[in-house]
Amino acid sequence: MATPIQASTRYYRRGVTKVLWVPTIANKAAPTRAEINAGTELADEVSAMSGWQTTSGTVPTPALGSRFTPVVGGEITASDSSLTFWASKTADDVRTLLIREATGFVVWMDEGDVPGQTMDVFPVSVTSQAKIRELDGASQIMAQFAITSEPSENVAIPAAA
């Protein structure tokens, strides 16, 4: 009999997940605690998120000797990504931090900022600050991002300094 997969400890994302804007990371595969601490925690103002995942394409590899066409892994892409924030009536909100064409890193700590757990590090450029205008909703700002190179996924969160 096959060994079962490890049982997961399920959790509710809100109140646990951390998302940071970090202006500078020297090695995205191994951010330091000092670099992380220099970032800005965004989670308390995030009302929605979209994207923030990678996908892999496939490439067919046909051979004349078979009617079956096997495939191999191909390009890796990241979907269009955004974070939606609450807007402030004083305009002192995310618009002062995530300005258009700002470059940096969006760091996702899905299980919280827990040393030894994992995080994903997305190198990004801010492409827009879209104002969401609705008659009966609270004012929001959607920051849209271009993911500029392959993210580092499942990177160990460093211990506190």
Q: Using one digit for the tens of pLDDT, what is the confidence trace for 69-101?
A: 999 999 999 989 999 999 999 989 999 999 999
Q: Alpha-carbon distance 115 to 155, whole Å? A: 11
Is there a contact between 84 and 141 (Cβ–Cβ < 8 Å)? yes
Q: pTM of the entire structure? A: 0.91
Question: At residue 63, does pLDDT exceed 90?
Answer: yes
The tokens of 66 are what?
Answer: 């078979």
Q: Alpha-carbon distance 69 to 59, whole Å? A: 10
Arithmetic mean of pLDDT over the chain: 95
Distances (CA, A) of 135 to 85, 97, 139: 17, 26, 9
Amino acid residing at 72: V
Is there a contact between 138 and 126 (Cβ–Cβ < 8 Å)? no
Give the pLDDT score at 147: 97
Distances (CA, A) of 41 to 56, 101, 102, 105, 112: 29, 20, 17, 12, 11
Give the pLDDT score at 79: 87
> Closest Cα to residue 58, out of 36, 74, 76?
74
Q: Mean pLDDT over residues 8-29, rounded? A: 95
Q: Alpha-carbon distance 72 to 97, whole Å? A: 41
Q: Which DSSP letter does residue 65 get?
A: T
Question: At residue 161, does pLDDT exceed 80?
Answer: no
- Percent of the chain clearing pLDDT 70 (strictly above): 99
